[in-house]
Amino acid sequence: MSRQPNSDEPREIAHPEQFVFTPPIDIYETEQGLVLYADLPGVSVNSLELQVQDNKLTLLGRVEPQIPEGARPLHKEYEVGNYLRSFILSGEIIHSQIEAKLANGVLRIFLPKAPKAEPRRIQVNTG
């Protein structure tokens, strides 16, 4: 009789486990918007995903281990893993104008603010 797998039983994973790190972030505010810096060592432009959905900015950077061909690790102090971080954006950020640049392992994201509405006087009519 064949046995059906139970959803509570552990399953084999085809890929070895990788760490997921929360990258350190610095955020600055200018008159034009917010500037966010994230340290993402080992992440390339091709392995970086930035997404805005439902006012949430998510960054995911994937890092592949750098082991020379034919070598085996003898001693490791640096763990390789992916980076994941999310932020809820305020309503004043213009999503369509967000810009990002990755250089030397540092991601810079510019989050432009919508111009503030100028106060205006509203005329009230009678009747």
- CATH number of the domain within which 87 lies: 2.60.40.790
Could you read off the pLDDT of 3-49 as tens digits, one per residue?
444 444 444 333 456 789 999 999 999 999 999 999 999 999 999 99
Q: Is residue 49 part of a domain?
A: yes
Q: Is residue 31 part of a domain?
A: yes
- Residue pair 23/61 in contact by the 8 Å Cβ criterion: yes
CA neighbor of 33 nearest in space, from 94, 75, 88, 78: 94
Token look-up 């929360």 returns 22
Q: Is residue 126 part of a domain?
A: no
In this prediction, residue 16 carries a pLDDT of 55
Q: Which two tokens stand for residue 73?
A: 């690790």
Q: Is residue 2 part of a domain?
A: no
Number of domains the chain contains = 1
Q: Which domain covers residue 29, as residue numbers?
A: 20-64+80-112
Q: Is residue 10 part of a domain?
A: no
In this prediction, residue 4 carries a pLDDT of 47
